[in-house]
Structure formats: C-alpha cells, structure tokens
Amino acid sequence: MKAAIHPAYNEVRVHCACGNQFTTRSAHKGDISVEICSNCHPFFTGKQKLMDTAGRVERFRRKYAKAETAKAETAKK
C-alpha cells in the first residue's frame, strides 16, 4: 500500500434515537447520530409487519394452501 493516501480510521461512538450506544470504527470524524439501529429496527426486533397490498399475500396463501392439500390427499392414496 502507498503511504499517506488512506484516511485515518478512528473509533467513533454511534448514538441512536432509541438510546442505544455502541462503538465502531470509521473514517468519519466525531460521533455519529442515527435514527434507527439494530436494537430498534422492526426487522431485527421481530415486530415487522407484512403489508398486504391489494390482497396479494392472501391470494398467495390461498393458492399454495390448495397445493398443500392436494399433496396431502395424493400422499394418502
């Protein structure tokens, strides 16, 4: 690697709006403030809601429920 062309890679403290704090390394100078982190994000907390726009999810479930029942009946015979 060439000398003196890479930025300084310092430890920074990250503050989330939920109150969570953690330390990481970054080329950014100073503390970082974020609105959402892995402690409060719905995907990571398991509180994510599935949006059913235009009934697509329900239609998918009905379609594959029929396929599952057909497989079960075929397996019984």
Each residue's pLDDT tens digit, 29-61: 889 988 888 788 776 677 766 666 677 778 888
Rounded to whole angstroms, the Cα distance separating 20 from 34 reads: 10
Edge-first strand order for the sheet with 32-34 is 21-26, 10-16, 32-34
Residues with Cβ within 8 Å of residue 28, at least 6 apart in sequence: 12
Alpha carbon 19 to its chain centroid, in Å, reads: 19
pLDDT value, residue 39: 80
Domains and CATH numbers, the chain: 10-76 (4.10.80.400)
